[in-house]
Amino acid sequence: MQKVFDDVNALDNRCCDEFGLSEDLLMEHAAASMMRHIHSKCLNNAKILIVSGSGNNGADGIALARLLYSQYDVSLLMPYQAKSAMAKLQHKRAKILGVNIVDDLSGLLERSLEHAPDVIVDCLFGSGLNRDLDEASQCLLKQLNALSGYKIACDIPSGLDKQGRVSLVAFCADITITMGALKTQLYSDVAKDHTGDITVSDLGVHRSIYEANTNTFLLDSVDMKLPLRTKQNSHKGTFGHLSVIVGNKTGAGIIAAEAAFAFGAGLVTVITDQEINLPCHIMQKSVLPENSTAIAIGMGLGYFKKAEVQQILNNELSKVIDADLFHDDIILTILNRENVVLTPHPKEFCSLLKLTKLADITVAELQRNRFKYVRMFAGNYPQTVLLLKGANSLISYNNMLYINTLGNNALSKGGTGDVLTGLIASLLTQGYSAINATITASLAHGMAATNYTKNNYALTPMDIIEGVKVL
């Protein structure tokens, strides 16, 4: 996993104060990293449009134009006058060299639409944007997005603010080359449509030196610890017995049970009094089996008798809580337990925040401040594992926060969340800790969707289950 930071200004200052790296030198490394990426993508004489703002993000772009000058057909568009000291210095250097600097955006972009640049580099605004964009900036970004070339964002796609929010428009990059370290604003849900691939540029020292301590991490596929079996002397009981509580919408529980069985649970029993058709390898009972090792509850539960559900929740077994239980105060009785995983989607999480009296907010407000509210919940219930679903899943435990970017819009289907519940529950029943079960299951769930090769609108819950079998 990789470290993620809310703000890297202190890290930049540390480079200057402790390692003797000047602001100028940091900027040269930033520009050089973008130059190397362009070298890897473009032939000589490719047409490159660099759009630079008035601050230090713009200065990175001006320095890049100087480094690329003569090898490529470079145009440097500066719609605003250089204001920061470094922007003025870099502008002076580029002008002395003879870089083609233009401030008439309409004329240049009209020519670009006719003879489209091969590469467009966005260096307009950096990671500190704290205001809505004016009309001219919005118009410029729309024009840049309309160009067909390969798009690079320097540090942060312009239009994303400090929380990764987009007021009206933002640059849509194919890749974001972020400077020094990963930033949380790159991982808001809305940012996912703007960042493209994300890579980190070193700024004169290796990331392991540049980065300090943090409680926020980006998960990688290598953090997934599959329940591969190594012990030969085993039997079905060795790998646990999961009980899945089936509610009014029986399909949700059956999907979770199928997912759990496919992910290694030795035995899976659905708990219901209803007559349902089950695969022959899934058992059914009306009460919890005495040898259960974990519980999954909430999926499609619908109306329930509180006393019966409370009895299940009081059980000391590890459990995953999903869906309907986030709308009833019965959920409050099991918060802050070590062996509990909560898996709400945004609307359910808003209900949970209201029940806990932490916040009374709309889904829109949550989506604009996902990190804020997950951290708020984690601060009050650090022992409970929370997985907030979304374009990027956020997982919290013990005041640590983990970001999972794997997966895609193919998962926007009914039943895919039930698969995730089943995967987590399967690992719990096999002895994983709550946080490790959640991390591995979430990554497996996302990777199965990423690896799906058919049209993304066609994904079904069973496709995900088949996908986790071959990770």
Quick check: 112 pLDDT over 60? no
Q: Collapsing DSSP states into helix, strand and coil, what is residue 79?
A: coil
Greatest mean pLDDT range, 11-15, 99-103, 378-382: 378-382
Model confidence pLDDT, tens digit, residues 200-223: 999 999 998 999 999 999 999 999
CATH level 2 (architecture), domain 222-468: 3-Layer(aba) Sandwich (3.40)
Lowest mean pLDDT of 8-12, 247-251, 395-399, name the range. Answer: 8-12
Model confidence pLDDT, tens digit, residues 166-191: 978 999 999 999 999 999 999 999 99
Q: What is the pLDDT of residue 111?
A: 60
* Cα-based distances in Å from 310 to 325, 329, 383, 469: 11, 11, 20, 34
Distance CA 273, CA 285 (A): 7
CA 437, 288, 250, 307: dihedral to nearest 10 degrees? -100
Contact present, 124 and 143 (Cβ < 8 Å):
no
Distance CA 440, CA 223 (A): 7
Domain boundaries, the chain: 2-214, 222-468
Structure tokens at 319: 């459990």
Place of tokens 């496709």: 463
Model confidence pLDDT, tens digit, residues 370-410: 999 999 999 999 999 999 999 999 999 999 999 999 999 99
Q: Collapsing DSSP states into helix, strand and coil, what is residue 448?
A: helix
Domains 2-214 and 222-468 share a fold: no
Structure tokens at 312: 């299940």
Distance CA 326, CA 329 (A): 8
Q: What is the pLDDT of residue 443?
A: 98
Mean pLDDT of 412-441: 97
CA 72, 75, 81, 83: dihedral to nearest 10 degrees? -20
Q: What b/e sequence results for 207-216 when a residue is b if at least 16 CB atoms lie within 10 Å of its CB, and e otherwise?
A: beebbeebeb
Structure tokens at 411: 């998962």
* Mean pLDDT estimate for the chain: 93
DSSP secondary structure code for residue 55 in this structure = S
| Helix locations, 147-220, DSSP H | 207-210
**Comparing C-alpha atoms, which of 293, 367, 306 is closest to residue 332?**
306
Contact present, 129 and 162 (Cβ < 8 Å):
yes
Contact present, 329 and 353 (Cβ < 8 Å):
no
Count of alpha carbons within 13 angstroms of residue 311, beta-carbon side: 7
**Hey, how many other C-beta atoms are within 10 angstroms of the C-beta on 281?**
11
More confident residue, 204 or 127: 204
Greatest mean pLDDT range, 17-31, 36-50, 428-442: 428-442
Structure tokens at 124: 């307009």
Q: Collapsing DSSP states into helix, strand and coil, what is residue 194?
A: coil
Using DSSP bridges, classify how beta strands 393-397 and 2-5 pair: parallel, antiparallel or unpaired.
Answer: unpaired
Greatest mean pLDDT range, 16-25, 65-74, 425-434: 425-434
Lowest mean pLDDT of 122-131, 260-269, 360-369, name the range. Answer: 122-131
Distance CA 414, CA 424 (A): 18
The dihedral of CA 312, 315, 320, 325: what is its sign?
Answer: positive
Structure tokens at 84: 């920061």
DSSP secondary structure code for residue 251 in this structure = H
Quick check: 293 pLDDT over 60? yes
Q: Collapsing DSSP states into helix, strand and coil, what is residue 397?
A: strand
pTM attached to this predicted model: 0.94
Q: Look at domain 2-214 and name its CATH class.
A: alpha beta
Structure tokens at 438: 């959640």
